[in-house]
Structures are given as C-alpha cells and as structure tokens.
Amino acid sequence: MTFLVLPDRALPPAPADGVGAKEIRHHSGRPWLVGDWHGDDAVVAAHGPNRLVLLGAALVTPAELARRLRAVRSTADLDPLLGSIAGSFHALASIDGLVRVQGTLSTARQVCHAVVDGVTLASDRPDLLADLVGAQVDEEQLALELLAPFGPPWPLGERTTWRGVRVPRTGECLEIDRDGACRARRWWTPPDPVLPLGDGAAVRDALVDAVAARTGGGGTVSADLSGGLDSTTLCFLAARGPADLVTVHYEALGRFSDDREQAARAAAALGDAHHVVVPAGRAPDWFAPLERVRHDRGGPLVFARGRATNEHLAGLVAALGSRRHLQGIGGDELFHAGTMALHALARQRPVAAARHARAMRAHRRWSLATTARVLAFGQSYPRWLAGRADRLGRAPTAFGAPAWEVEPLLPPWIGRDAAATVRRALREAAASGPEPLSPIPAQHEMLRITAVNGRAVRRNSGIASASGVTFEAPFTDDRVLEAVLSLRFADRIDHHRFKPVLGTAVRHLVPADVLRRETKNDASAELYAGLRGRRGELLALFEDSRLAARGLIDPAPLRRVLLGAHADARPLMPFDPTLACELWLRALDSAAFTAREAR
C-alpha cells in the first residue's frame, strides 16, 4: 500500500506522478488521494462535500461509514467517529476541502508529511516524501537510532531519519487547509486506569473486533502459531470468523523449547484450519544472506536480524492465498505487568501494592532499598530523560529499576562525535520539558513500547509487501490498547497467574489447557546459530561500513564483539540497531540518491 494526500488547491501534476494508479478526488474535483492499494483494504464513504477513506483493516462497512459521515461538519467532528472503529488503518478525510490525516497510536500505520513547493503533502511512506523534497539523511537522528535496544526515547523516537520529513506525535492528527498549510492537533489522550477487569468483557470485545477486522472479508487469513499464549489466542479468535485460517509454526532450534508441543496441542483444537510447520533449519537463519533480502527505504528496521525470516514467511503464506498475516506482537507488553505497574498500584491501592511488593521482591531478589525505590519513584519525565543523557556510556542500571521506559544504551562501538551528538540531543530534549505520553509512568511505558512494536510491524510489512502480504498485529490496535490502558492496576498484577488480563478475557474462547501455559521461550539458540553461520558475512559487511564512512561507528570494537565468545546475549544486544542502520543506508545506495546527497 502506498498513498499520497494532496490539499484542495491547484497543484502541478508532478508530485503525484508514479505514486499509483488509483485516485479519489476532493468535492471540488481536484485530486486528493492518489496511490496503490488493494480494494479490500479500503472503506470509502462520501456525503455532500465530505469524503472519508479508511485504508487498512477496519471493522465498518461503507454504508455505515457514510451514514455516520452525515453528522460531520468539521475535521474535529471525526474524533468520536474514528475513535470508535475497531481495526488498524489510516484515516484520510476531506471535509469540504479541509484535510485530516492520521495513523494508529502504535504507528503500525504511520503518517508523515513534508512541504513540497510551499504546500504540505502527506503519505504513509517517508521515503516517498523524501524523494519529492530531495531530502538528505538526518545524521543526528541516525546516530540516535543506534541506541539499544529500541532506539531513542520519547520524544526523539517519533522522528524520521530524513531531514524535512516529519510525523505527528502519538495522539495527534495532521490537518491541512486549502492553502496547503498544516498543523498537528491532539485528538486522543490515554484513558484513566480506573475500570475493573471483571470477566474481561471490555478486553475480550476489543480483541474479538480487532481480529474480525482482518477476517470479516472472508478469503484466507494466516497467523503465527508459535505456541505462545499471544499468537495462539489470535488463532482461536481468527478461527471464529468467515475466513479460511492457515497457521504457521517455525520449529525452534533450542533443545529445551516446548513451543512445538504447545503449538501442536493448539492446532489439534483448531478444527478445520490448515497448519504448516517449518522444520528447524529449513527457514533462513538469523542474519541470513544480507544481499538477497528485500530492503525498506522507509527507515531502519526494528529487529533486523530476522529480516530474511519475515520475507520467507510472507512468501510462504502468499503461496497459500493469504494477504493478511496475524502476529502476536505486542501481547507481552500489554499483559505482562512489570515494575512500573507495581509503582502505579502503590498510588491506587497502597495496601495491595505492599502485598504484591513482597511477592515481586522474592521473585526478583530485590533488596529492601530497591523495593523502596520502585514504590517511591517520583522523577519527572524531563528529569529522567536528562539523567539518561548523563548515564550514556555507563553500565546499565539494574534490571527492574524504576524508569519511565527502557533505558537507552550507547553501543560500545559508536563514534566519539556521534556519542556527543546523542548526549546533546537527549539533553536538549529534556531541557524542552516534554510531557510524557501519560502522567503515569507505567502507562507511558506501555504506549512507548507499543510504538516500538508498531514500528516493527510497519517495517516488516514493507518487506512483505513484495509478496502482496501485510503483517497484522491486533494487540497493537488502538481499541485494544485503550481497553488495557483503562484497567485498574490491581487487576493487571497477579503473581499466581501468567498474563491474568488476557487469560480472563479469553477464557471462554481459548481452551483451558492452552491458557494454563506459563512459560515463554527465548530465541537465544537462533541468535547464536545465526551468528556462528553468518559471522564472516557480518564482518565483511562492516569492513565497508556506510556508518563508519559517516563517522557514526568505529568498526574495530564491533569486530571484537562479533568475534568474541559470550556467555549470554547481552554484549550482542546493541548490534541489532547498528545492523538495521547499516542495512538501511545500503538500501539508499542508488545513483539518483548518491547524486542528490552530493549536492
């Protein structure tokens, strides 16, 4: 899918050339939306001078959308309408020539914008806009993208790696007037965490609707069946719909993984679904041949080590007739209550928090001082962010230490000037006094990591699009995220149950023996096997490093890490963002781009 949004004014035809053959016009007759998308991915409605298009997976019919559009008089009137539709989609509106564009909270569907010849254009693809404006790589942002494990913290993570190409922040939509001027307007704020879980109806309904948005059109839909609780839940929800279900299980390399047994048990209960098992060693390994996989020019790929595997998966399900593939990405972050959930509970129900603190202290072997720090954490977000700038280059804080989000770490091979750039950027961001995504650290953390997952889905879908497949992650949908954010923390924490919110929500939809699973396997075997098999290729890749040519990394310490023996995966953790940035720069290597950068 690709689209370009144009304001309601006379424009030269050049910006829309080559974007796609499909076009929808403003009420005035001028081009508004041009691009390339599958007909099943578009819900189009019109009423009088108003137009509304949902591109993606939306649980609403064109007739229902048109009926609700009748009450709309302004772009702001769309807030409650769009905030009630399940699924994951870009929402594009022309309200008597005034344009509104928005993506999803997770950024699985993201919008970006740039000024071209004095007017604002919007798109789902930053590289498309970068080509239109002749944008160069933003090297400061690229240096920030080297931070492990998930790139720069809020708000620096909500920037593109192209100069002059911008994105609205979480909860904002983009509005473009008839002259082509734009503004970002906040339309969404996180709900207060006050609702009881009860029987899980709110979360259950949100999940059922999220999956129905993908399966409601029939045809064939595929889904991961890893054996984990999240992906297995999605399979059982998908099996309830009208679409034919294909499940895919990649056997793990580890000898001690029980994923295969769990997946087989679930498959036996899924009825008529078609099950595909890819034997261990038959799929591309991690860090697989780097020159024979698809590159995405949109930006660095989260979890780049698995690029070839995702391409293999897309080709596999496409051959079986699937255009949409469901993945359980995001479930861990929604349903596994961490340190900051305990911190939040202490403010809602101190007595209950004390009880849970004793259990968490025993489980994590915390000292009394650590437990007290978690419960008493009160740093403002700007102060916390400034502290991260001061700590860059030092050893990471202890696991479970209180924080607004995952601590960003400098890779040991980052260049000296690049490290200084990153510190300065974090300090400047902190000095600007940014408001967190929520005043409650646990809620901010959930929104932030959901955006990381959404970015992974978006980038992987860019790779899968070559096979005509979109990766879908219902756990990152707006309505699902809202349902979980609304829950009081007392119901999110249960040290005697694995993912209590999810288990309660789907207990009548997923077999009890599936819900009883309390284990989660890691992928360390895949990591070590991939590194052993591809070490030579990785070393050769960084012998001619594009990052090193820009002064962003020093290949020597990176080479030592790749050649070293490691008792655990922690020394390798910073490598993934570096690999992603290196491969992204190589994806830009074309004669046209090189010529433009040289100007």
What is the DSSP track for 102-166? E--TTSSS--EEEEETTEEEEES-HHHHHHHHTPPB-HHHHHHHTSBTTSSPTTGGGS-SBTT-B
Main-chain dihedrals φ then ψ at residue 167, nearest 5 degrees: -130, 145
Assess contact for 129 and 298: CB atoms under 8 A.
no
| Low-confidence spans in the chain with pLDDT less than 70 | 13-14, 254-257, 290-295, 518-521, 590-599
CA gap 434, 405 in Å, rounded = 14
Could you report the per-residue pLDDT of 352-362, keeping only the tens digit for each? 999 999 988 88
CA gap 223, 235 in Å, rounded = 6
Torsion of CA 81, 82, 84, 90, to 10 degrees: 150
What pLDDT score does 229 carry?
A: 93
What pLDDT score does 594 carry?
A: 42
10 Å CB burial of residue 263 (0-12, 13-18, 19+) is buried
Closest to 562 (Cα-Cα) out of 545, 550, 546: 545
CA gap 114, 120 in Å, rounded = 6
Closest to 119 (Cα-Cα) out of 32, 176, 31, 180: 180
Assess contact for 553 and 581: CB atoms under 8 A.
no
Alpha helices, DSSP H only, in 216-283?
Answer: 229-238, 259-268
Which residues, including other chains, have CB under 8 Å from residue 42's CB and lie 6 or more apart? 53, 54, 55
CA gap 283, 367 in Å, rounded = 44
Question: Domains of the chain (ranges plus CATH)?
Answer: 2-186 (3.60.20.10), 201-334+451-524 (3.40.50.620), 342-444 (no CATH), 535-598 (no CATH)
H/E element, 431? helix 416-431
Structure token digits, residue 92: 């594009």
Q: What is the pTM of this model?
A: 0.95
Q: Report how far apart, in Å, the C-alpha atoms of 506 and of each of 60, 140, 487, 579 are.
A: 23, 45, 16, 38
What pLDDT score does 152 carry?
A: 97
Residue located via tokens 């006050």: 194
Assess contact for 509 and 235: CB atoms under 8 A.
no
CA gap 42, 57 in Å, rounded = 8
| Mean of per-residue pLDDT scores for the chain | 93
173 three-class SS: strand
379 three-class SS: coil
Could you report the per-residue pLDDT of 422-477, keeping only the tens digit for each? 999 999 999 999 999 999 999 999 999 999 999 999 999 999 999 999 999 999 99
List 137's β-bridge partners, or say none.
162
What pLDDT score does 525 carry?
A: 82
What pLDDT score does 515 carry?
A: 86
CA gap 538, 26 in Å, rounded = 50
Q: How many residues does the chain have?
A: 599
What pLDDT score does 344 carry?
A: 97
CA gap 254, 525 in Å, rounded = 5
What pLDDT score does 598 carry?
A: 40
Structure token digits, residue 423: 């510190």
List 414's β-bridge partners, or say none.
553
511 three-class SS: coil
CA gap 358, 361 in Å, rounded = 5
Closest to 104 (Cα-Cα) out of 454, 353, 392, 437: 454
Beta strand extents in 344-405 (DSSP E only)? none
Structure token digits, residue 121: 């254009």
List 91's β-bridge partners, or say none.
54, 102
What pLDDT score does 260 carry?
A: 87
What pLDDT score does 292 carry?
A: 59
